[in-house]
Amino acid sequence: MVPVDSDTPGTPPAPAVAYIDAQGRPTDDPAAAVHGEITEYDGHGKARRRTRFFLGEDALPWLPVSEPAFLLWVLVALIGIWLLVGVILGLV
């Protein structure tokens, strides 16, 4: 994205970004933000587009381990099945 110079007439101002952390306080750190809003402006300074976002982390109640651990075990199982099929096809 090309940075926009807001001092030049006829060019839109830079987007306004508002980040909110997990405690509901405004923050400047995008990594700490869990929700917020990005507002883009047109050449006349009027709001053209608002994009709201939120990041939620929901746990799967039926999963006894963390999601990354579960996905790692699924990957190991798929590699094991792939190797087993290769051994079976190699013996045929």
Tell me the percentage of the chain whose pLDDT exceeds 70: 87
* Res 25 pLDDT > 80: yes
- Domain with 8 in it: 1-57
5-21 tens-digit pLDDT: 555 566 778 888 899 98
Sign of the torsion formed by the C-alpha atoms of 61, 66, 71 and 72: negative
Dump the DSSP string for 23-71: TS-EES-GGG-SEEEEEEE-TTS-EEEEEEEE---PPPTT-SS-HHHHH
Shared domain check, 72 and 52: no
Under the banding of pLDDT at 50, 70 and 90, the label for residue 80 is very high
Entry pTM = 0.45
- Number of structural domains the chain divides into: 2
Amino acid 91: pLDDT: 83
- Amino acid identity, residue 92? V
Q: Do residues 15 and 25 make contact, with C-beta atoms less than 8 angstroms apart?
A: no
Shared domain check, 64 and 53: no
Amino acid 1: pLDDT: 40
